[in-house]
Structure 1
Amino acid sequence: MGVILADAWLITMNDRREVLDSASIYIEGQRIAAIGTRRQLCEAHPDAETIDCRGRIVMPGMVNTHTHLFQTLLKGLGDDMVLKKWFTCMTLPAACELTSDDSYIAALHGCVESLRSGVTTLVDFQYINSRPGMTENVVKAFHETGIRGFVCRGFLSAGQEFGVPEHLIEDSAAATAHARSLIRTHNTPDARVQVGLAPCMIWTVEAEGFRRVRQVASEEGALVTTHLAETDFEIQRAFSQYSCTDAELLSEIGFLGPDVLAVHCVQCNKHDLRVLRHHDVKVSHNPCSNLYLASGYPAIPEMLMAGITVGLASDGPASSNNHSLFQALKFAALVPKGLTRDATVITAEKVLEMATIDGARAVGLDREIGSVEVGKKADLIVIDYENAFMTPIHNPVSAIVYSALGHEVSDVMVDGAFVVRKGVVTSVDEKAVRERAQAAANSLAERSGIDRFKRRPWRSTAI
């Protein structure tokens, strides 16, 4: 028996970018089978379950193109630090104490949080693999919660001189061999959860490590993601070691390609953008974390004008404090206007594209998800706009980007199955997940010594 979502305000994200009033969608199995009026679909499918969506917006599920799920346990401990200090003084000490069970609990919570805020596809950049089973446990959490996504097996193979603990450093040959094994196990045809590769960044992975990743990715057809040009330190390190930017280096060694998702790209210059466009590299834009860590802000309008595909992301909760793309939508729409003093430099429509169809394109899934079209996977979200924050409502796109807070998501469907129904996660016990995550977070902070950041003095002025 199929499902009809009836009489919704439908944001399709199809090629014509149609926004339809009082539209209905018929879902059969994993896919969208028909779009029409309630009467048309109910007459054609009298046995279908009909869900009244009046007062609701239906749109494609959002694609979060970058996070670090283990950082779910570190929310609020990294305030007021630039990236290098945040990485070496807070995140890495916690990573040294992280257990495989911590990885699983953090991933469960992060997936629940993502689904509750309308994300149906998630890219996890799992660069901590110091204990057996860490990546495997994240894959397990994806399967149990019902979210779609990529668990990208990352690694750190260098960087001790910059504060990376020896305990976290892996041999890049062994790390890529493990990634290949996971890819062959999980990346079956039509798999909802896939494994990719994630060399961390050029100051924590040697050039040969990037070459090894490229070989595995090309041979196995897997997604690759890496941090690129996130801070001034990264660019300075590239010039001091390689006499070029990190984008130029990765181009020269043959790493870049259309299967690469480059995260941040804050410090990319005009030549770097031409390099990315030449190789059809996709970009993951993380506005909240770039601001939180005072890293700067990427040249998103210039990237879009150059024809670079840009997806939206939350980044890990240690640098954004949650997985909600609604916050990222608003920042992505507002910050470029303030920086350029040009109110037209980016639109609400464009940033919603970045969170849906462009995000799907960034991870190679735009033929399957990212828009509401007949034949595509039924990855859909329902937003209840009958609340004080979103009403009065005139334009649904504007209301989602500028007015919504994220809690308005009432229903979420992945592969045609509800994973959130009437505001309740159906796949796991959310309350139990929250309680386990809090206990794990408390224990991890204490074991790693970063619980001191909980007890910081009140600060009303700049340090």
Structure 2
Amino acid sequence: MILVGNGNVITCQKEKPFIKGGCVAIEGAAIKAVGTTADLKKMYPEAEFIDAKGGVIMPGLVNMHNHIYSTFARGLSIAGFHPKNFSDILEGQWFHLDRKLKNTTTYLSGKVAYLDSIKNGVTTMFDHHASYGEISGSLFELSKAADELGVRTCLCYEVSDRNGKSQMKEAVAENLDFMKSVAKRGDDMQKAMMGLHASFTLSDETLEYVKEATPEDIGFHIHVAEGTADVYDSLEKYNKPVVNRLFDLGILGKKSIAAHCIHIGPHEMELLKDTNTMVVTNPESNMGNAVGCPPVLRLFNEFGIVCGLGTDGFTNDLTESYKFANLIHKHHLADPNAGWVEIPTMLFENNPRMANRYFAAKLGVLEAGAAGDVIVLDYHAPTPMNETNYKSHILFGMNGRFVTDTIINGEVKMRNREVVGVDEEKLLADAAEEAERLWQRINE
């Protein structure tokens, strides 16, 4: 048994969200009890004790949309790349990069991304992968990396027509092979979805093919109206908005993720609501790509759609995305009151709720029976901190690098900022060498 105590415990429970001088008892893969440090030490005197030293103890974070394959784009300069719009960014950078990825690159990018997640207190990650340089086996490389680092993850491969029918079918097969592998595992650490790029790179024929091949209990993970090109393509080719098209082809549903949803209208919002489709917004990426601000507050308030937060490969620090999500809507709406309730609800309540449509262990809360996913942050508040204002303390006072300890599924993965069982220096050196080889292939 492990006790994580002597800190301000943010439980994310509705009944008792904050415990000063609190402690969490973890037994096996689950939380055994939550209470004061004094009480739990008396109950379990022989337990290993992790001292938060007056810092913050809270549930591990859930990232609902990421792109691990973008890991080695950090610092990359592509000859002749001067994008004028989002379509240029996709074709000139991301499609160009993923066509050069090999499974060795995918594996090491996974190791780095999962390592970074642990350091930033992210214990569960939903990833959307593309590596058209080598498709077969790529999800298994990410799976291997996740197992080695011990991060809970849900994976899919981005099906697209952009490289022809043969590679489209190979991508579908990779998703299906990984789904079978996950089913055989029988654990709660890895799950699978069917990945789709976006409406404008997917024909009706392909979407019908994918829908027929996908098991009933598996949802789709797709980019929706991230840029206006996606909107115009659907209207011009199919005479219907993007979400309507996806609805007609059976892509929406309770276990499906619609990422971004920036350029959608009220009727499309109704369809997302009626199908109980999850929406994930990615504020930093949207700002970086200059694609606009998603109407997520309207989706949340007016339509009651389950909305969450992702990082879209921009970062692995969800607290950073939490800050940007708070800012982008205030700025866009010129309203200083925008997002105060909705954004923390998305991160601390909806992300775990969405993840639990796939994972069995209760995520995002510290209570008896919930997943043993716990993080410690070296944050000592200079002002009063309590159950009414702890979300503001996280927003204005913390970021991912405040995390000192990360426990996933009851196993200590980082202790005092040292990741357990990982030769970090060697991993980063190997990654840098592999990134250099990738960059050379890109600029050939």
Asked if 1 retains the 8 angstrom alpha-carbon contact of 2:19 and 2:35, the reply is no
In 2, distance between residues paired with 1:65 and 1:7? 30
1:359 matches 2:351: yes
Sequence identity (%): 25
1:142 matches 2:139: no
Letter in 2 for 1:448: I
1:255, distance to aligned residue in structure 2 (A): 1.6
1:380 matches 2:377: no
1:259 matches 2:261: no
The residue aligned with 2:49 is 50
The residue aligned with 1:151 is 155
Asked if 2 retains the 8 angstrom alpha-carbon contact of 1:383 and 1:409, the reply is yes
Deviations 1:383-418 (A, max 9, x none): 1104xxx64564432121122232100011110111
The residue aligned with 1:98 is 101
- Structure 1 stretch displaced more, 420-429 or 187-196: 187-196
In 1, distance between residues paired with 2:174 and 2:100? 21
Aligned to 2:148, the other structure's residue is in SS state: helix
- TM-score w.r.t. length of structure 1: 0.88
- Structure 1 stretch displaced more, 245-254 or 423-432: 423-432
1:196, distance to aligned residue in structure 2 (A): 1.8
The residue aligned with 2:330 is 337
Number of paired residues? 432
The residue aligned with 2:176 is 180
1:449 matches 2:443: yes
Aligned to 1:175, the other structure's residue is in SS state: helix
In 2, distance between residues paired with 1:113 and 1:146? 12
The residue aligned with 1:75 is 74
1:130, distance to aligned residue in structure 2 (A): 4.0
The residue aligned with 1:415 is 409
Deviations 1:176-228 (A, max 9, x none): 33322221112343330122210111122222332343344443x23421001
Aligned to 1:203, the other structure's residue is in SS state: helix
Deviations 1:302-324 (A, max 9, x none): 111121111111112xxx2x221
The residue aligned with 1:199 is 196
Deviations 1:310-363 (A, max 9, x none): 1111112xxx2x22112101011111112222222211x643332233112223
The residue aligned with 1:87 is 90
Aligned to 1:4, the other structure's residue is in SS state: strand
The residue aligned with 2:306 is 309
5+ residue gaps, structure 2 = none
CA spacing shift, 1:301–1:442, aligned 2, 3 Å:
same
- Structure 1 stretch displaced more, 392-401 or 139-148: 392-401
1:258, distance to aligned residue in structure 2 (A): 0.4
Alignment RMSD, CA only?
2.1
1:426, distance to aligned residue in structure 2 (A): 1.0
Q: 1:285 aligns with which of 258, 275, 281?
A: 281
Aligned to 1:407, the other structure's residue is in SS state: helix
Letter in 1 for 2:221: T
- TM-score w.r.t. length of structure 2: 0.92
In 2, distance between residues paired with 1:109 and 1:251? 36
Asked if 2 retains the 8 angstrom alpha-carbon contact of 1:146 and 1:427, the reply is no
The residue aligned with 2:127 is 124
In 2, distance between residues paired with 1:366 and 1:326? 25
The residue aligned with 1:459 is none
Letter in 2 for 1:416: G
In 1, distance between residues paired with 2:12 and 2:360? 11
